[in-house]
Every structure is written in structure tokens, then in C-alpha cells.
Structure 1
Amino acid sequence: MDFGTTVADLRKEKGISQTDLAAQLGIHKNVLGRYERNEVFPSIDIARKIADILEVSLDYLTGKEDVQIDKITSQRILEVAKFEEADRNHIFSVIDAFIAKRKIQTILQ
């Protein structure tokens, strides 16, 4: 999905009008409309603000990632990244076990 469509879809999912989002960004709603139609693209600062307001990563917003990671999950991952290597490895071992279990369940279904 392209940048503009992603912004428009997320904005609508969250029940935010173009006028309200534009006001939060400090831009005119016509400019936001042009972003949503992919006629122009925002500066990196405005794109970051859009991602923050819509509670998604900038990677998701720009199409680099196809999985939407919510803010709480992202914060938890960043917190784990600060752990000592041994602790991170324990946590990732548990996560890897759950991923493997899920893959096996999917194959068996």
C-alpha cells in the first residue's frame, strides 16, 4: 500500500478527520489531502508526527514494513533491547519457542 492510502486508512480507522489531523500537524487540511492522494510527500518531520499521531512506526507508514506494530509492543521491544545480552537471549529463546509452536500448529491445521 502507498503512503497516502496508508495515512488515509489509518486516519479513518482512528476516527480522525482530515481537519483534525492537519491541525495536530500544524498544516492546512488541503496539504494533508495532497499527502493522502500521493500528490506530494511530507518532510521527514511531518511524516514522523503523522506516525506518532496514528500510533504506527514510520517504517509501517512508508511501506517498509507490512506489519503494524502498536506503540506498546514497540516500547516493550525497545526496553528489551536495553537488557544485557544474556537476558535478551533468554527472552528471545522464549519468543522463538512460541514462534516455532505457532508454525507447527499452522502446518498441522
Structure 2
Amino acid sequence: METFGKKLAILRKEKKLSQTDLAKQLNTSVSVISRYERDEMTPSIDAAKKLATLLDTTVGYLLGENENADMFKNPDMLRRFKDILSFPEDKQEHILFAIDSMIKATKLERL
């Protein structure tokens, strides 16, 4: 299992950010980012939230709370989930029903 620091480094590199770039955006020092990535230091809750936002992921992904964490690493999936959550509950139910139907049909095609 990847540690917080490893995930942070991977996501930072995927965004083509240097440690200096990320430190500036987080309003901290390069040494702090370096210590995070080496798992020598853990961020505060506020810093973890800001890192997740800057890197288009979730705190849950960074902290390894999710079994299928890659799903929460994908900014397109996150955007879609956020969009769905912004809709009224009845619309959410309709969208999720449609998605469930498509998932079921796709699984049946694999058989």
C-alpha cells in the first residue's frame, strides 16, 4: 500500500509540479513538502484538505481510507460525483438509476 508521502509525490509529478511549485501554492516551504513526501511529517487537516484540492483528489485518497482509491484520484470522476451531489435528491436518484442500469448491462455483456 502506498503511503501518504508516496501518493503526494506521484500526484504532484502527474500535475508536473515541482516541490517548490507545490510549496508556493500551499504557502509553505519546500522542506515541508519534502518531509511530507518522505513520510517524516504529516500535514494538518487543513493542509491535507488544501493539498487534496490542489492535486485534484480527496483527503480520503491521500490518507488511504478507500479500497478503490484510484477512483478518487481521477479528477473527471470527482467532478462528476460533485455535479451529481449538487442536484436535487430526486434528480440524483434518476441519474443513479440510469448509471446502475448501464453498469448492469455492461456486466451482462461481459458474460
Shared fold, TM over 0.5: yes
**Alignment partner, residue 90 of structure 1:** 94
Map 1:15-30 onto structure 2 (within 5 A). Answer: 15-30=16-31
Matching of residues 29-48 of structure 1 within 5 Å: 29-48=30-49
Structure 2: runs of 5 or more not aligned: none
Structure 1 stretches of 5 or more lacking a match?
none
Q: Does the 8 Å contact 2:72/2:78 carry over to 1?
A: no
Residue 2 of structure 1 and its aligned partner are, at CA, apart by 1.1
Change (3 A) 1:50 1:85: closer
| Alpha-carbon offset, residue 69 of structure 1 | 4.8
Instruction: Give TM-score, length-normalised by structure 1.
Output: 0.84
**Distance (whole Å) between structure 2 residues aligned to residue 85 and residue 24 of structure 1:** 35
> What is the alpha-carbon distance in structure 2 between the residues aligned to residue 20 and residue 50 of structure 1?
12
Bigger Cα displacement from structure 2, 88-97 vs 60-69: 60-69
Q: Deviations over 1:49-85 (max 9, x none)?
A: 1111101111111111212254454344334334444
How many residue pairs are counted as aligned between the two chains? Answer: 107
TM-score for the superposition, normalised by structure 2: 0.83
Q: Does 1:12 align with 2:16?
A: no
CA contact 2:57–2:78 (8 Å) conserved in 1:
no
Moved more, 96-105 or 82-91: 82-91
Q: How many percent identity over aligned positions?
A: 40
Partner of residue 102, structure 1: 106
